[in-house]
Amino acid sequence: MAGEGDSEPRKSFKLLGFLDVQSVPCARESVLYGSLGSLVVGLGHFLATSRVRRSCDFAVGGFISTMLGYWFYCRYNLAQQRIRQRMLKEGMKNRILFEGSYLDPEKKQTANERSDS
């Protein structure tokens, strides 16, 4: 079956010779959305004006703007997700550390314990 006992390493696709699309987060999706944006903008401009060279220029601009726009959107969401994961990890560590002690926020403090603190 595929995936079982594969001794071959996965082939990487490098865009422009240096951007490894498989290992860089958000790179694959950015290139795919950029190419779709390029097609839509270029074809739309061609249908509106019937100017081939100008439509190709717009298609390149559409590719760059769509790719960069989605790149920043995806990286921002990835950074937010990592921050939430780090906060959750810290919270779980603190929960384990303080469980059952007087610092446990879920433990009800009596009036006697409050005056001792």
Global confidence as pTM:
0.66
H or E, element range at 15: strand 14-15
Share the mean pLDDT of the chain. 81
Q: Which residues contact 109 (CB under 8 A, 6 or more apart)?
A: 102
Please tell me the predicted confidence (pLDDT) of residue 95: 79
Q: What is the pLDDT of residues 70-96, one digit of tens each?
A: 999 999 999 999 999 999 998 888 777
Can you point out the beta strands (E) in the chain? 14-15, 19-20
Q: What is the pLDDT of residues 24-64, one digit of tens each?
A: 788 889 989 999 999 999 999 999 999 999 999 999 999 99
Pick from 62, 42, 67: nearest CA to 52: 42
Pick from 39, 35, 31, 36: nearest CA to 14: 31
